[in-house]
């Protein structure tokens, strides 16, 4: 029978984790209780004690525990929990993990979860789950469930949340166990970046690449998606990169909400993976509701995508900067790479007659990109919009050629 790890700060939330364990065992699964609390005596008896977790962090862990400084203890237990849980998963002793937590517990337990492989079942019930969860989730598939009320006792509200969470992890583990018996694709892997404004292009290119015998994984260019794609490229598991949607650099440069960090576009260089690069959606910067747009951008051209998303058109000056940044990133590539430029539109809404049409800005982008690019890197300029089938086919064929030439 599969075993589910229950990791938590049992010193402050022992009864709640005990209730969770009862629900999981009632569903037919084994449990392994791991105490990551360090300040007082645990509320329930764990299978792995806080001392074992702390010792796994290394260093002078006894001195840290003796000082009883909350911040120090959280850091220590996060390191220890990561080491303990990783060893358990590698040894095949646990098949899923779940936790309940407030601020400290969420920091500790999600640190351990982020160290686990994608696909390994992970559930975190947290008082922080309704806000910005990116520091806790990172690029991993951690399911964050809002605790609604504090994790402080079993009552008519928390009982429902905890029971549902137990059902979720049990269902995920059952699905993962079933998946082990299914064949795994051995097709070489290509990753692609996509946004709503480039969906048609990427979908058409994906079809051509699949016809050529590849499996294509598509990542949304939403910051976290770009980081996840870069992580997979750097892992060495990828045969080619279809980076049509480099829009995250516009957010990174101008303070939008979907930046992927300054290392976006670096992984293909590090892993020496064949690639194609296109300036998809570099015409737009993403903000939230209109009132969240920084005052410095007052008077700019905006497009209200929906109630929660406000897009800002990049200017010619900003596009010049973006072209230089993208070119300098590509210049580090050692595997075959091709740059493709759709001269009529880099997104749906930048086409002629659309809200973000700005030929001057596009010309600045293309000019800066070409002028800063290494002379030996091929550039294909096409007098079409980015979602034109001719452009998507050109992207796919260029990538296939680069993979063959590698």
Residues 346-373: tens digit of each pLDDT: 999 999 999 999 999 999 999 999 999 9
Evaluate whether 258 touches 305 at the Cβ level (below 8 Å). Answer: no
Average pLDDT over residues 12-37: 96
Q: Which residues of 294-328 are buried (b: 16+ CB within 10 A; e: fewer)?
A: eeeeeeebbeeeeeebbbbbbbbebbbbbbbbbbe
pLDDT at 140: 92
pLDDT at 381: 98
In the numeric block, the tokens 């929660």 are attached to 308
**Has residue 261 got a pLDDT over 80?**
yes
As a whole number, mean pLDDT of residues 17-24 equals 97
The pLDDT value recorded for residue 162 is 97
Q: What integer pLDDT is reported at residue 265 of this predicted model?
A: 98
The more confident residue out of 306 and 392 is: 392
Domains of the chain: 3-179 (3.40.50.12020), 189-405 (3.40.50.12030)
Share of the chain above pLDDT 70, in %: 99
pLDDT digits (tens, 9 = 90+) for 215-240: 999 999 999 999 999 999 998 999 99
pTM of the full structure = 0.82
Mean pLDDT computed over 36-43: 76
Section 122-131 average pLDDT:
94
Q: How far apart are CA 85 and CA 124, in angstroms?
A: 15
| pLDDT grade for 174, boundaries at 50, 70 and 90 | very high
The CA distances from residue 135 to 49, 104, 107, 214, 315, in Å, are 27, 13, 9, 33, 31
Kindly indicate the confidence band of residue 186, based on its pLDDT and cuts at 50, 70 and 90: confident
- What tens digit of pLDDT does each residue of 313-351 get? 999 999 999 999 999 999 999 999 999 999 999 999 999
């Amino acid at each position: 029978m599969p075993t589910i790890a229950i990791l938590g700060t049992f010193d402050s939330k022992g009864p709640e984790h005990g209730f969770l364990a009862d629900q999981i065992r009632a569903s037919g699964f084994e449990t392994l209780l791991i105490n990551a609390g360090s300040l007082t005596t645990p509320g329930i008896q764990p299978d792995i004690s806080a001392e074992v977790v702390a010792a796994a962090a290394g260093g002078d862990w006894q001195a840290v525990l003796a000082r009883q400084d909350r911040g120090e203890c959280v850091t220590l237990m996060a390191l220890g929990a990561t080491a303990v849980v990783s060893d358990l998963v590698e040894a095949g002793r646990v098949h899923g993990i779940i936790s309940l937590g407030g601020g400290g517990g969420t920091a500790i337990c999600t640190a351990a979860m982020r160290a686990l492989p994608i696909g390994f079942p992970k559930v975190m019930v947290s008082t922080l789950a309704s806000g910005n969860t990116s520091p806790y989730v990172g690029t991993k598939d951690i399911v964050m469930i809002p605790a609604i009320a504090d994790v402080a006792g079993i009552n008519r509200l928390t009982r429902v949340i905890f029971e549902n969470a137990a059902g979720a992890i049990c269902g995920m583990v059952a699905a993962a166990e079933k998946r082990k018996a299914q064949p795994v694709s051995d097709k070489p892997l290509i990753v692609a970046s996509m946004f709503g404004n480039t969906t048609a292009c990427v979908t058409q290119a994906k079809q051509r690449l699949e016809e050529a015998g590849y499996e294509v994984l598509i990542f949304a260019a939403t910051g976290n998606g770009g980081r996840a794609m870069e992580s997979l490229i750097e892992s060495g598991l990828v045969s080619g990169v279809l980076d049509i949607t480099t829009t995250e650099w516009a957010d990174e440069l101008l303070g939008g909400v979907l930046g992927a960090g300054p290392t976006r576009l670096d992984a293909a260089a590090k892993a020496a993976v064949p690639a194609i690069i296109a300036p998809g959606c570099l015409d737009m910067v993403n903000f939230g509701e209109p009132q969240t747009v920084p005052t410095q951008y007052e008077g700019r051209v905006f497009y209200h995508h929906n109630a929660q998303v406000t897009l800002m058109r990049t200017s010619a000056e900003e596009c010049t900067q973006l072209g230089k940044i993208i070119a300098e990133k590509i210049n580090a590539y050692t595997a075959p790479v091709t740059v493709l430029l759709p001269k009529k539109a880099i997104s749906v809404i930048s086409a002629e007659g659309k809200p973000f049409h700005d030929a001057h800005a596009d010309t600045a982008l293309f000019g800066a990109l070409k002028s800063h690019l290494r002379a030996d890197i091929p550039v294909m300029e096409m007098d079409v919009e980015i979602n034109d089938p001719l452009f998507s086919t050109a992207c796919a064929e260029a990538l296939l050629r680069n993979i063959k030439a590698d």
